[in-house]
Chains A and B, each alone.
Chain A
Amino acid sequence: DAKTTQPPSMDCAEGRAANLPCNHSTISGNEYVYWYRQIHSQGPQYIIHGLKNNETNEMASLIITEDRKSSTLILPHATLRDTAVYYCIALSTDKLIFGTGTRLQVFP
């Protein structure tokens, strides 16, 4: 599985868009990009995943660059409840490998 690199922390004002970057320059053609988040010490929660195309669901949007070496998770209107650690994972085998993620702090 490709290694991913994320900034350790980010801040975002409530109501604004939160853009969380992820670098996965060694990703291979069959590796999906997954995003999970973990609020405080709760179980990780799935957000979104994609392979090549940009994806959107009720929680977020995922923008993957054309060369697939990086991606951005977008929370369009961040709320205080979005404060969490966000994990970007490049996955091709049968297990998720969580890195240290990005701690997103949403402030009022």
Chain B
Amino acid sequence: EAQVTQNPRYLITVTGKKLTVTCSQNMNHEYMSWYRQDPGLGLRQIYYSMNVEVTDKGDVPEGYKVSRKEKRNFPLILESPSPNQTSLYFCASSLSGGLPTTDTQYFGPGTRLTVL
């Protein structure tokens, strides 16, 4: 089954403790992206990747890192999490390595992160 998977689905952690949220897709998609969703602010893009070893900042990249060593994986790294990073996080992927203007994005199930 074609899908985007994220792990963990739920995580409660403390300020400053490094964590990684994994994202994997099995559709051979070139484009992958991370979003966070907060009440009243909608979905905002954190980072995206057009292809392996190519990553770019989205709208809210501060406090996050990503890597794209393989096409299927796009982990989100929080080196020193803070309470303002408490949010619902979504990973997404799409086929095109260029502009996904006629290309749909597939979203993972979400990771609910709480930083105390």
Contact = CB atoms under 8 A, between A and B. Distances in A.
A96 interface: yes
Interface in B45-103: 45, 48, 50, 58, 88, 90, 92, 98-102
Contacts of A99: 42
B92 A49 contact: no
B43 A98 contact: yes
Contacts of A91: 101
What is the size category of the interface that chain A forms with chain B? 20 to 34
A81 interface: no
Contacts of B98: 94
Contacts of A96: 43, 45, 105
A44 interface: yes
Contact of B33 (A34, A93, A95, A98): A95
A41 B105 contact: no
What is the size category of the interface that chain B forms with chain A? 20 to 34
B42 A98 contact: yes
Given A95-B58, A100-B42, A49 B109 contact: no
B102 A95 contact: no
Interface string A24-41: 000000101010000001
B110 A95 contact: no
Interface of B: 4, 31, 33, 40, 42-43, 45, 48, 50, 58, 88, 90, 92, 98-102, 104-110, 112
12 contacts: A43-B107, A44-B107, A46-B105, A91-B101, A92-B99, A93-B99, A94-B31, A94-B48, A94-B50, A95-B45, A95-B58, A96-B43
